[in-house]
Amino acid sequence: MTALPAHDMGPAANAFRKEVRDWLARNWTAEKRAAHAKKPFKDRGWDPEFSKLMGRDGWIGVGWPRPFGGRAKSPSEQIVFVTELANAGAPFQAHNTSESIVAPSLFAYGTKEQQDEWIPKIRNGECHFALGYSEPEAGSDLAALRTRAVRDGDDFVVNGQKLWSTGGDKAQYMWLAVRTDPEAKKHAGISMLMVDLKSPGVTLRPSMALYGKTFSAQFYDNVRVPANNLVGGVNNGWKVITDALASERVMIGGGRVATIERAFDRFTEHVKTAVAGGKALRSDPRVRDRIGALAADLEVARQLQMRSLRAVEQGRAPIHEAAMAKVFASELQERLGQAALDILGTGGLLSEDADSAPLGEMEQFLRHSLMGIIAGGSNEIQRNIIAQRGLDLPRQ
């Protein structure tokens, strides 16, 4: 039972929700879930076999246009889809970047040959990309990136360093932003390359992030990348990157709200039966007050997400709407994690692999909240967007 009822997304999306649930019930069975839950936390979410299963049954590319083998589902249906996957804890991260960033970029900017070569592999769940944008001196100011690519015959030769690439220790390919013209204005000299991470000269340095999953830093030392792997033309990378972010923004938000809903439900269920200091937690007025306030905030997060969704359905890019939804939802995740740890007491500090943890997933959930606040454009940058684009307060 969920603490808050699911939104009515309209007849088509509601019917689609049932279709997704039925498929998950048959293919993401209790047995598979239990086996997945036994894996170390760092390995959860990334499951190439499950990606192939989704690909086999046509669940990769549900929002893609039909000519590319997609199902052309509406934004409401796509949100329902992401929500159901998140609610079920289904592991779709292996193909997520390929499906939602690389493929849409190839639809818009790829050559016919690139589309014919890469789209079927992505659709079948066999092709896993990570994002190679950030560098030591280029995060919020991404256009300051310095990783250099120089044309040499039929190849580009790449030199430089990237870091924070989520899943970058497991992926086969990097969606790599490189500088192809150091003399041009900084936004104008960037290009996008698809790089095979097994190429000679690539060194991966995997690391563990605070939230318990892995990422990689990569070092590129005279790495030869076929010029056929350039997407969108030389020096056109900034447009490719920003278009992909716009198409992705609402769906990322949808996944985040679904993750918060799931954690809120699990925590509320726990509070209904848990006892602390000989007293039922649910009888404590301070606990009820805090959870009630969080429920109201969760509904606000859902409404902000719906506002972005409606903008997309009306054919508008939800620039400041998506920024508001992102700021509110990511900070709500942090507030929910903090409230849970306060209410669970000292035991709440234990991770889920500790036998006596009352609800160890909430401790992990709090650590994970920082990712939402920083990654994909930090909340300070989002607030700038709200001020400048939503409230017409331009920088002087």
Site for ligand FAD, rule CB under 6 A: 130-134, 139-140, 164-166, 209, 371, 374-375, 378, 380-381, 384
Rounded Cα distance, 384 and 366, in Å: 25
Question: Roughly what angle, to the nearest 10 degrees, separates helices 319-344 and 237-273?
Answer: 30
The residue number whose beta carbon is nearest to ligand FAD equals: 139
CB of 83 to ligand FAD, least distance (A): 22
Respond yes or no: is residue 248 known to be catalytic.
Answer: yes
Rounded Cα distance, 316 and 308, in Å: 9
Question: What single-letter DSSP state applies at residue 92?
Answer: -
The string of DSSP codes covering 183-226 is: TS-GGGGEEEEEEETTSTTEEEEEEE-TTS-EEEEEEEEEEEEE
Half-sphere exposure of 182 (CA within 13 A, CB side): 5
Catalytic residue (one of 19, 117, 248, 313): 248
- Residue 76 or 134 having the CB closest to ligand FAD: 134
Rounded Cα distance, 271 and 288, in Å: 9
- Label the pairing between strands 129-132 and 173-179: parallel
Amino acid at 17: R
CB of 325 to ligand FAD, least distance (A): 18
CB of 146 to ligand FAD, least distance (A): 13
CB of 166 to ligand FAD, least distance (A): 4
| Spatial CB neighbours of 246, under 8 Å, sequence gap ≥ 6 | 317, 319
- Residue 100 or 166 having the CB closest to ligand FAD: 166
- Residue 207 or 228 having the CB closest to ligand FAD: 207
- Residue 246 or 375 having the CB closest to ligand FAD: 375
- Per the rule left: phi > 0, alpha: psi between -120 and 50, beta: everything else, 212 is left
- Label the pairing between strands 279-280 and 275-276: antiparallel
DSSP lists the bridge partners of residue 231 as 192
CB of 188 to ligand FAD, least distance (A): 20
- Residue 358 or 376 having the CB closest to ligand FAD: 376
Residue 296 DSSP SS3: helix
CB of 141 to ligand FAD, least distance (A): 6
- Residue 350 or 381 having the CB closest to ligand FAD: 381
Rounded Cα distance, 5 and 295, in Å: 11
- The residues carrying an active-site annotation are 248
